[in-house]
A and B are shown apart, each in its own frame.
Chain A
Amino acid sequence: MVEGQRAIEEYKTGNTKHTWDLKKLRSAHKILTSYSYKKGEVTKGYANRSLYVNLSSGAISEKPVTDEMKKMFTGGRGFGLKLLWDSLKPTTRWNSQENELLITTGPLCGATQYAGSGKSLCLSVSPSTNIICDCNVGGFFGPYLKFAGFDALEIQGKAKQDVVVVIDGEKGTVSIETAPLEETNTHLISEQLTHLYATENTDKSRQKVSVVSSGLAAEHSYWGCLNFSFYDIRRKVPRIKQAGRGGLGTVLRDKKIKALVVKVERFDGVSNHPADPVRLAEVGINLHREIRDLDRYQCNMRAVGTGHLVEIMDAYDLLPTENYRFGSFPKASKIYSPKFYELFTKIIPDGCWHGCTMACAKTVDGYTVMTGPYKGEKVTVDGPEYETIGACSNMSIWDPLWVLEFNFYCDTYGIDTISAGTAMAFYMEMYEYGILNKERCDGLELCFGNADAALELLHRIAQGDTGEFITIAAKGARRVKDWIIKNGWGQKQLVEDTGMESKGLEFSEYVTKESLAMQGGYGLTLKGPQHDEAWLIFMDMVNNAIPTFQKKAEALHYFPMWRTWFGLNGLCKLPWNDIEPANNAETSEPAKVPEHVQNYVDYQNAMTGWDVTKEDLILQSERCYNWQRAMNVWMGRGQRKDDWIPFRAMGPVTEMEYLSRKERYDKQLVEKIGLPQKHVEKMTVQEKLTMLYTFRRNQYQKLADAVYYRRGWTPNGVPAPQKMKQLGFTDKKMLKMLQDKITADEKNGLNVWGGTYEKGEHPPSTEKRYWEKWS
């Protein structure tokens, strides 16, 4: 199989072939609304307009993207936040009429020269969290949306029947069409629509179409994801990447959208019309060369994708197993990356956008489905990525083929593998304790490792099963916690401490117990516990580079801002630090990868013609980050209570966990809490657990104190209006809302630090209303 230079037309996946009656599909379409627009050119990375579609009224219109909007919000996620602020109400929930689904691009999106430049940013009010969730996703949709003429797509309202929204960049039209006969599940509908809308019956023509879809399970679950297609001319299938977190696929189906389709007439390497294409190509070529020379010695992304992390996480006790009880497991080597390497198709450009030579998007082709409605079919499975493998290890599933099965069905049913895996791992732990059982689980034996039962749960969600457990389980860990507690099963605290969600969103797949900074990286976040804001475990736990609260807070300021920047520009974060220059370790701040930061400065300047510095990049992010936090506050969340994380994320909850790492924890009781060794030896495990519990919870509060202060927020985590003004915001409605909230907090006694400080320790500021001095 490892042979190269096969002619493209000779590639064979071995997949089951489908033949679609395209005429029949097309003739069943009824065009509800059609809108013509003047095709335009993208200039220096911007199309300079956004597209608004209202499914309830059928209205379609264009909105200008102004220079002011570019200055304050940059693009991508920033534009999404701005458009949502203009359209939502504080009471808007995921299924409200006025809720919107945003897909935005960013000024660097669609460039082909620099690896990782094809990301779309998706935003909506999440069913899981009731606040805005943002996702960064690959696939061709974002770049094509921009080249078809729009920096952002904004969809409001709900259709009465299943529709597709088609943006035809060839004809310059946008239409809302009924789509009664198409399948709903992604691996089928993305193929149908790619064939249906391709101008010619050729692979190159199909490559100019991208489809966003979800699946049947998204209609019954809060875990719905969006699948973004990218047609592979070698495999001859539309492959997919997921905007997984927060249930955006649920919103898509609630709006009765079966799919979004975009098509471009043509595009080339300079369709963004960069200000300085020569410089842009130079920066890009340098990175390609670094990846060529170093990837195989660093992350090995080109061979195995993000799956290379499994063995590293297992070695450092960070791979979540059995619902984060442990960070490593004797069977884990069964799902190390070489096991998947054996299954992956090799020697194919695997970028999810053109020119990404990091190429982490691996697939298994010709995989034979083992269960459910597609049993026996041979399909292409996109992935598994690290998070999906981690989700399976969390459920104690150690067979690569079952990982693929879970991956395939989650994708095609439109389910986020992370949320589903993390939540099911929690259900499995509850099952082990007898808090859940076969009867309470509608007949499912959800024990750890029972992959069959996990898949059965997915199938039953997709079928719309109305069993009490299935219905609630599909809504995620938070709702199941409430349900268990309401029924009085088990101890409330145990249920609260072990269900790994914060803000209503399930954790992604890293064990954070031994890294306080990473606990903050999950808890002190905008959308919920996702590693895309900060990944500080090695810096904190392994290298001990940020030992004080102040240093941790600085890291929890810089890295979330830095990582936010990728989403403002339509970029992927991976080429920043999953490949590093050979001399990176010798630089002053290796964790920041200074040479690559400079690449991004040069890249943004070459595209836009601006003259920004690395500090300006952080400022761009800080504006959007604070704006999103302020919107969370506006929607009734975004405060200290919402940044809480379950104790399983902070330390050992059960005696078994304590005993499994007894030496480590005993040592901490002596070294960190200051108990005499002899005293520790006499304590019961329960006493030790209680001691750690109190200590670590207080550590987390102190961390939140330091981080809020560093970010320019009040002790309750509310962005100060003075801070917003410093960032350049003048929106009166926003500033007044924040001031009113702070005044109310003052009355309710919420403007106080959360940590308990011992003698000689101090909170970040002893001054009351310290933020009022900033102006």
Chain B
Amino acid sequence: MDHPTTVKILKFHAEKCKGCLECEKACSQVHFKTKDGGQKSAIRITKTGKGYSMHVCDQRGLCLDMCPVGALIRRKNGVVWLDKEVCIGCQACVGFCPIGAMRKADVRIEPFKCISCGSCVSACPEKALELIEVKIADIKQVVHYKLGV
């Protein structure tokens, strides 16, 4: 089987962001068909001091090995993808994500995450977001097991 070697991930240009949250609204439109943003957005922009910071999945894929039913896969384009039809809502991926980027909204038991679709990039009036291509080998992370005693 051919395995993807690269994946597109979001890059944030903090200096350009003005905190309008258009990206969140665009994202929640993709995942929940609503402009609510906030809890229903995979990308989150938060105010930090004078500027803003972005919090989103970086496609490292640690969650892939957590899913008991195989709902999480790395697609051909390298993106870590949750199939909510297969997902049984256990939240293992949510709980184990080391950066808290696998999200759970109150309206649905199945979690959701960034799929690098670019909606937020297009929605940003300040061009503060960009999709960049990285090598999967450089970002890949697996579940850590300590050896015995």
Interface string of A1-21 (1 = CB under 8 A from B): 011110111100000000000
Contact with B91, one of A5, A288, A348, A349 (Cβ below 8 angstroms): A288
Interface string of B61-75 (1 = CB under 8 A from A): 110111111100110
Q: A4-B65, A267-B88, A269-B89 are in contact. Are A304 and B148 (CB under 8 A)?
A: yes
How many residues of chain A are within 8 Å of chain B by beta carbon?
49
Is B66 touching A300 in the complex (CB atoms < 8 A)? no
Most-contacted residue by chain A among B1, B3, B98, B149 (CB, 10 A): B149
Is B148 touching A336 in the complex (CB atoms < 8 A)? yes
Is A292 touching B96 in the complex (CB atoms < 8 A)? yes
Is A269 touching B87 in the complex (CB atoms < 8 A)? yes
Is B65 touching A5 in the complex (CB atoms < 8 A)? yes
Determine whether B47 belongs to the interface, using a CB cutoff of 8 Å to chain A: no
Is A269 touching B70 in the complex (CB atoms < 8 A)? no
Is B70 touching A233 in the complex (CB atoms < 8 A)? yes
Bound complex: CA A113 to CA B86 (Å): 15
Determine whether A250 belongs to the interface, using a CB cutoff of 8 Å to chain B: no
Interface string of A282-315 (1 = CB under 8 A from B): 0011111101100010001011100010010000
Determine whether A338 belongs to the interface, using a CB cutoff of 8 Å to chain B: yes
Is B146 touching A303 in the complex (CB atoms < 8 A)? yes
Is B148 touching A112 in the complex (CB atoms < 8 A)? no
Determine whether A281 belongs to the interface, using a CB cutoff of 8 Å to chain B: yes
Determine whether B143 belongs to the interface, using a CB cutoff of 8 Å to chain A: yes
Q: A5-B140, A349-B67, A349-B68 are in contact. Are A357 and B92 (CB under 8 A)?
A: yes
Contact with A284, one of B65, B95, B141 (Cβ below 8 angstroms): B95
Give chain B's interface residue range (CB within 8 Å of chain A): 35 or more
Interface string of B116-149 (1 = CB under 8 A from A): 0000000000000000000000001111111111
Q: A269-B110, A277-B109, A281-B109 are in contact. Are A355 and B148 (CB under 8 A)?
A: no
Q: A112-B88, A113-B89, A285-B94 are in contact. Are A341 and B147 (CB under 8 A)?
A: yes
Interface string of A265-278 (1 = CB under 8 A from B): 00111100000011
Residues in chain A near residue B109, CB distance under 8 A: 113, 268-270, 277, 281
Bound complex: CA A336 to CA B67 (Å): 29
Determine whether A354 belongs to the interface, using a CB cutoff of 8 Å to chain B: yes
- Output the nearest chain B residue to A232 by Cβ-Cβ distance: B68
- Output the nearest chain A residue to B86 by Cβ-Cβ distance: A204
Q: Other than the known A292-B96, A308-B148, A357-B92, what 15 A-B pairs have Cβ atoms closer than 8 Å?
A: A7-B1, A8-B73, A112-B88, A207-B69, A268-B87, A268-B109, A285-B95, A289-B96, A296-B145, A302-B143, A337-B148, A349-B66, A349-B67, A351-B68, A354-B90
Binding site for B on A (CB under 8 A): 2-5, 7-10, 112-113, 203-204, 207, 233-234, 267-270, 277-278, 281, 284-289, 291-292, 296, 300, 302-304, 308, 311, 336-338, 341, 346-349, 351, 354-355, 357
Please provide the 5 A-B residue pairs with the shortest distance between their CB atoms, ordered closest to farther. Answer: A269-B89, A288-B95, A355-B90, A4-B142, A338-B148
Q: List 7 A-B contacts (CB under 8 A).
A: A4-B61, A4-B141, A112-B88, A289-B96, A292-B96, A338-B147, A354-B90
